[in-house]
Structure 1
Amino acid sequence: MSILDRSTFFIKEHVGMMKLVDRYDIHDPDTNEKIGFVEEQPGQLVTYLRLLVNKQLMPTTIVVSDLTDNSVLFIIHRGVSLFRPKVTVKSPQGEMIGYFRAKLFSLGGGFLLFDANDQQVGDVKGDWKGWNFKLLSTSGEELGTVTKKWAGMAKEIFTSADNYIVALSPTIQSNRSLATLLLAAGLAIDTVFKESKN
């Protein structure tokens, strides 16, 4: 079964105190079996510039792969960002699946989801604590959630590692593009929008 046929994912960030590049494992939350991995690939120059510049302002590429055959599932890319970053999601062949745009004003955090035809298809809304998010359709229907899973006091205090659950509504599984975009949105909360310079 492909990762994209699933509806729940446990995302586990690799622990590190002075990381310049982020890496995550994707697990089946029921069995804890590792089923995929996420690797940030910002390029060598950008990687070293992160020692001087906040990485949220710099371009990055995040590659999401299936562990079964190491095949790339989709790619998330953010260009240079000063205000409202546009984050694209593309297939391994470079075809646009959709993109995200940060909201102008949001107390709890969040961003808007658009398909490849520039049509808004969803909204990511965060709560005041900043680590429980809902993936909503434009009509307000809940399509999924992203919730923080506590990693333990030592990890939380001494590292920036995050563990969280992405849960998608089973009703969207027949729409592969939307399911991919929502999983990418769940990953982008931490990899693109929330991560700060370590």
Structure 2
Amino acid sequence: MLLDKKTYFVKEQVELMKLAGTYDIYDAETNIQVGIAKEEPGTMIKFLRLLVNKSILPNRINVYDSENQSLVFYIQKPMSFLRSKVFVYNSNGDHIGYFKGKILTIGGGFFVYDSNEREVAEIIGDWKGWNFRFVNSQEKEIGTVTKKWAGIGKELFTSADNYVISLNDAAESESEHNKLLLAAGLAIDTVYKEHK
């Protein structure tokens, strides 16, 4: 099952004319696919992506379990200009939390809130914006997102990224918090880093 893992390898599928991304999610320890994340923005938004920067347009990413193809959670970003707010919902459509982008940071980052408006983590990027740390309110690291080099050909000629999302033992074992942290790792690439 998707949420039983602590370490995920996320591989963006390479597509020639990409108007919506697809991300394969693997158990990083066994290399078995455990989930898939799909951007499902709607026809009008796909058309607008040809004309407008993707980062300001609304977006929806559905995350499915590979075992039974069921929806586990989804990420929804409304249209935004400066400081994006990204919402996370469980498979029943219940709000489980949101992310609020930082305005002035060198490597990027955002704050993670649960459904009770309580800050549960801060995502802090390095100066390159490739590696991120999840830090809880006690300043303790609870996870990381690390970009993986895919080879010179793929890096130069595609925008597809590979990265590892790791939740350490300090991360709360509640599945809602794990959903939020996995969603935060996916949101770094799908919402905050993708501009094409």
Which amino acid in 2 is paired with 1:80? M
| Alignment correspondent of 1:122 | 121
Q: Please give the alpha-carbon distance, in whole angstroms, between the structure 2 residues aligned to 1:71 and 1:156.
A: 32
Q: Distance in 2 between matches of 1:194 and 1:21?
A: 14
The alpha carbon displacement at 1:28 in A equals: 1.5
- CA contact under 8 A between 2:13 and 2:23: conserved in structure 1? yes
CA deviation after TM superposition for structure 1 residue 17, in Å: 3.8
TM-score, normalised with respect to structure 1? 0.96
SS in 2 for 1:16: coil
Consecutive unaligned residues of structure 2, counting only runs of 5 or more, are none
State the shift of 1:74 in Å.
0.4
2:34 maps to 35
**CA shift at 1:175, angstroms?**
1.4
Contact 2:55/2:195, CA 8 A, preserved across alignment: yes
Q: Tell me, what secondary structure is at the counterpart of 2:68? A: coil
Are the aligned partners of 1:11 and 1:165 in contact in 2 as well (CA < 8 Å)? yes
Aligned-partner SS, 1:129: coil
Q: Distance in 2 between matches of 1:38 and 1:145?
A: 19
**What's the counterpart of residue 190 of structure 1?**
189
Write the mapping of 1:64-79 to structure 2, written as runs, cut at 5 A.
Answer: 64-79=63-78
Percent identical among aligned pairs is 49
Tell me by how many angstroms 1:31 deviates.
Answer: 2.4
Aligned to 1:163: 162
Unaligned segments of structure 1, at least 5 residues? none
CA RMSD of aligned residues (A): 1.0
Mapped partners of 1:50, 1:33: distance in 2: 32
1:10-29 alignment runs, 5 A limit: 10-29=9-28
Asked if the contact 2:123/2:135 (under 8 Å) is kept, the reply is yes
- Runs ≥4 residues deviating over 4 A: none
Contact 2:74–2:90 under 8 Å retained in 1: yes
Instruction: Tell me the TM-score normalised to structure 2 length.
Output: 0.97
| Separation in structure 2 between the aligned mates of residue 54 and residue 31 of structure 1, nearest angstrom | 37
Partner of 2:186, secondary structure, is: helix
1:97: Cα distance to partner?
Answer: 0.7
Q: Are 1:45 and 2:44 matched, yes or no?
A: yes
Tell me if the contact between 2:141 and 2:170 (Cα under 8 Å) persists in the aligned partners. no
- Paired with 1:97 and 1:190, the residues of 2 have a C-alpha distance of 20
Q: What's the counterpart of residue 62 of structure 1?
A: 61
SS at match of 1:138: coil
